[in-house]
Structure 1
Amino acid sequence: MVSSYDSSSSCAAIRSHDNEVLGSHRWAELNTGWLVWELSLRNTFQPNASEIRHLAGEHKWEWSKESIASYFYTKLSLLRAAFTTCQETNLLNEICYGLPVWLQLDVHTHLLSNPNMDNLLTELHNLEGPWKATLCSGSHYNSRNDPVPQQLTPPTTYSMPSQLLLGTVNAPRGKTALPRQDINTSNKFGLAANYDPANNSYINKDCCCIRTYKLPNS
């Protein structure tokens, strides 16, 4: 068994040997604290600032691939590397922005008078179970956390072809225009007799989807 005295003696002997080899001046230069070493390492291996900021901004929570805690620590590490002087409150908000929009509404840590990272991590951990249960149900959200678009039923509004409108306005002089009731009746029976579903089409007009029908031979 090696005593503490023996260990101390060994360390002293090693240091004495280093002093002889390196010299007292060189040894004094190397005998620095950890903070100095950390600063030196950061300056030597400084990552590309724009790239690390891009990674920090683009990192989102992928609920099907990682836990909320894993997302939290990864996002926080990227943010601290990209924004070394950023306030903790701003970092906290950025972590929340990495969640899907509909999940952000459930987070209330940022509303506290003195929010901190521990509060946020605790709240996210408590919300993870209900969130994943909803996501796994697949009723309203897909695997990328985006709302599933609902299929819209096109309105059944019928748009009268411009040819008919122009025909009534620009009727030749000397000919008596048919009464409106007769025109509607004639078109009604004509469409019914020659109706072809293939002539149906849809157009977007004034933010609405309108169904139109192309008349035969037009």
Structure 2
Amino acid sequence: MKKLIFTGLAATMIVGCASVPMDYTPTTKQISEPPIGSVNTASLGDKLLIQGTATERLALYVPLAQKLGLGASLTQGYYPKSGEKDGFEYFSVVAGADAGRVHYLGGMTTSPAMAEGAVVLRKADNALCFLNGVAIPSGCTTGLSFEKKNWATTGSSTFQQTLLYNGKVGNKINIAYREFSSDVARPAFNNDVEYDLSESKQIGYKGALLEVIEATNQSITYKVIKNFNTN
């Protein structure tokens, strides 16, 4: 009898999870920072340039940890949208330094791999809820602090190039080139390059071109003339 009850509950949970709407489609955009022509200052180890692709999606941003009903709570961070139906918007828990988490009564925490639609916004009164084990919004609470923002992240289909500042010795500066694919470094394409500022104040690598205004062993001030693969 117990086995039958457990089997029935498991089936209900599977059906419930399958009903979470997944109809929201994020967009992919090109990023190229800082803007061409801008003057910027970077510290040792900071990125001088970054270019590539990023995924941008609407997300629920929670600025501080807050309590829901039934002993649940939300941590600070972003919860990307997965879909909406029947007057509710569903937001997921994903991996990432800026991503939020849902904590349940008893200390359990959402796992990003199993957290589609984990946070639910009831549109009628702006109440935030968590999704229970049978995919029903529960613990709905009004008056919480949150906002909707576009959130750009790297992901499974992204590619990025970047230059890093590695300091100065004498009149020479060291610049590191790094590539990332699917948010994973590509060591075979990494390179550290030394530039002699007594020969030229302009430094370039793989199409990127910078004009060095001032450089010390702690920071560098520079103007962006070209980013990677730009004319």
Q: Which has the higher helix share?
A: 1
Based on CA coordinates, which of the two structures has the bigger radius of gyration? Answer: 1
Measured against the shorter chain, the TM-score band is under 0.3
TM-score by length of structure 1 reads 0.22
The structure where strand makes up a greater share of residues is 2
The TM-score with structure 2 as length reference comes to 0.21
